[in-house]
């Protein structure tokens, strides 16, 4: 029997359910879309379109990767974030929806025509700094990361989004961040306690870069390193915005206060979990 889009989608969905994937309906659609080069609209309006042999082979290969728990973002090579799309892969953390809270908080109070420079510590795919530059055309930015491979992806994202002229990439450790008055300093540093990483879902534990996850024994190592660097690099009217993991907001506030900053707000996500710690001079 010929394999139609509808039958292929159903079979893919059932295999992903059996593999324990938590979004089988959506993932099956995206993998089929990729393998058969069709949009969601085509799947809905032309469900009896037949897959070629090559498309069936491509779908099988993609399904096997997803069954092995490779993240859908790695398989497709892209991840939507905010209103943009970022190239991603094994060398960068796939940007997370919770990081959009960081973006939202950073944009509030920054007028559309804001000028100045923003610093993104641990930029990975560049999602944070590039989204800010996209939203505020008068800003320039620096994305710092110790991973050269991550910065290559960030630079490619900047090119693809037409933002390369306004963003610089700096390979180095936190302490290599340039000393000048930034209007916003943002970071989503690694914050998972080392001992907890292997217990995370396989998509994260096995496929995301360890460097992007590992926050040391208690998950707070990066905040301890970053906090003392901030006051020297913040404009007088600037803000520091740090994403934090579950249960870390209090400890991070203490680190920031010890580093001479004043806490202006702790922002909670939709699940009421403290997500972003905001501080000023």
Give the residue, chosen from 63, 127, 227, 261, that forms a contact with ligand SAM under the rule CB under 6 A: 127
Closest to ligand SAM by CB, 55 or 188: 188
Taking CB under 6 A as the rule, does residue 146 contact ligand SAM?
yes
By CB under 6 A, what part of segment 211-240 binds ligand SAM? Answer: 211-212
For residue 130, give the H/E element and its range: helix 127-135
Taking CB under 6 A as the rule, does residue 254 contact ligand SAM?
no
Distance CA 250, CA 31 (A): 41
By CB under 6 A, what part of segment 164-183 binds ligand SAM? Answer: 173-174
Cβ contacts of 145 within 8 Å, gap of 6 or more: 122, 123, 124, 151, 154, 169, 170, 171
We find the least distance from the C-beta atom of residue 21 to ligand SAM, in angstroms, to be: 22
The site string for ligand SAM over 84-123 (x = CB under 6 A, - otherwise) reads ---------x-x---x----------------------xx
We find the least distance from the C-beta atom of residue 111 to ligand SAM, in angstroms, to be: 24
Taking CB under 6 A as the rule, does residue 71 contact ligand SAM?
no
Label residue 255 exposed, middle or buried (CB < 10 Å: 0-12, 13-18, 19+): buried
**Choices 69-77, 145-153, 156-164, 257-265; region in contact with ligand SAM by CB under 6 A:** 145-153
SS3 144: strand
Give the residue, chosen from 73, 87, 147, 157, that forms a contact with ligand SAM under the rule CB under 6 A: 147
Distance CA 167, CA 127 (A): 12
Taking CB under 6 A as the rule, does residue 82 contact ligand SAM?
no
**Choices 32-40, 184-192, 194-202, 269-277; region in contact with ligand SAM by CB under 6 A:** 184-192
Q: Total number of residues binding ligand SAM (CB under 6 A)? A: 21
In the structure encoding, which two tokens stand for residue 13, read together? 């969905």
Give the residue, chosen from 33, 124, 219, 238, that forms a contact with ligand SAM under the rule CB under 6 A: 124
Taking CB under 6 A as the rule, does residue 245 contact ligand SAM?
no
Nearest to 130 by CA among 73, 84, 89, 171: 84
Distance CA 212, CA 232 (A): 25
Nearest to 235 by CA among 179, 197, 177: 179
Find where tokens 């400890």 sit: 251
CB 190, CB 213: distance < 8 Å: yes
**Choices 64-72, 146-154, 247-255, 271-279; region in contact with ligand SAM by CB under 6 A:** 146-154
**Interior CA angle at 279 toward 163 and 118, to 5°?**
15
Residues at the interface with ligand SAM (CB under 6 A) = 93, 95, 99, 122-125, 127-128, 144-147, 150, 173-174, 188-190, 211-212
């Amino acid at each position: 029997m010929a394999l139609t889009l509808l039958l292929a989608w159903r079979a893919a969905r059932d295999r992903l359910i059996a593999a324990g994937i938590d979004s089988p309906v959506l993932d099956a659609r995206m993998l089929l879309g990729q393998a058969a080069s069709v949009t969601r609209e085509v799947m809905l309006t032309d469900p009896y379109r037949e897959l070629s042999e090559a498309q069936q082979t491509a779908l099988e290969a993609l399904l096997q990767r997803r069954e092995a728990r490779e993240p859908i973002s790695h398989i497709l090579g892209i991840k939507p974030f905010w209103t943009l799309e970022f190239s991603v892969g094994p060398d960068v953390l796939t940007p997370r929806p919770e990081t959009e809270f960081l973006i939202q908080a950073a944009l509030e109070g920054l007028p559309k025509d804001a000028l100045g420079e923003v610093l993104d510590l641990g930029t990975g795919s560049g999602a944070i700094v590039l989204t800010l530059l996209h939203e505020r055309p008068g800003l320039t930015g620096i994305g710092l990361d110790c991973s050269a491979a991550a910065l290559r992806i960030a630079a490619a994202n900047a090119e693809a989004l037409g933002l390369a002229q306004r963003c610089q990439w700096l390979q180095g450790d936190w302490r290599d961040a340039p000393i000048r008055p930034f209007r916003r300093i943002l970071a989503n540093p690694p914050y998972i306690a080392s001992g907890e990483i292997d217990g995370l879902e396989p998509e994260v534990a096995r496929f995301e870069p360890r460097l992007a996850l590992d926050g040391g024994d208690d998950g707070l190592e990066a905040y301890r390193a970053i906090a003392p660097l901030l006051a020297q690099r913040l404009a007088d009217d600037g803000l520091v915005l740090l994403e934090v993991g579950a249960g870390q907001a209090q400890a991070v506030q203490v680190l920031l206060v010890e580093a001479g900053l004043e806490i202006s707000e702790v922002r909670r996500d939709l699940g009421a979990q403290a997500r972003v710690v905001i501080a000023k001079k």
